[in-house]
Structure 1
């Protein structure tokens, strides 16, 4: 079963109506793996759904986060919450120049998670990196990517 159908079933199971607006939000997340904010989603979808409110988007995103189908991401220095449709284990990289957010998937899940467990049940980790992405780094160096 694909993720979108799984989400629809989980929403129905939790008593949440799958309105055209909610389906549009899910489709947007599925097709735009850019770690959008609620405001970015709203600005894109309001053309097709002029009566949809920002509250509908926040409520839908909160429900998707509650059922573990999106991840909320907060970066220090950024007052916006971003949402990630990719719920598999990975890190995030925020470019300080273009503000794009990239997924970084490690080759292995870090062993430290087991080492720090101490009987606790770890449900989430929030690790991110900040720096300059490859594209901005290359532009900054005048087209030469000296970093390898």
Structure 2
């Protein structure tokens, strides 16, 4: 389904970068860390949990917690991206930043979702929305894709 992640707060800040892929280039010295803590829970992207000392900081590129790495050196499979981040010296990293959606649900009914989360992560991966439950009711009341 998708990630319900901390990140872009709704309410007027820089929404032009939401969902718009952007690419940054990072050079990593041999044996040095990239400097990213990542969560690959969804099996499709590597979500940035934190940026710390390493090649990303030294390069001065903007990679933020909450960004999703969708490709590294044009590889889009999570295992290949992780291998490239560990082994390659020159990294072309394609990123997307998610939109945070806040919902108000009716109290009293079950939430109606199946989800999982990474032990060190700060978001949920919604795996299934039940046809009955507060989330399904909310989703059905929205115009367009939810």
TM over 0.5: no
Q: By percentage of residues, which structure has more helix?
A: 1
> RCO higher in 1 or 2 (8 Å CA, sep ≥ 6)?
2
Q: By percentage of residues, which structure has more strand?
A: 2
TM-score w.r.t. length of structure 1? 0.28
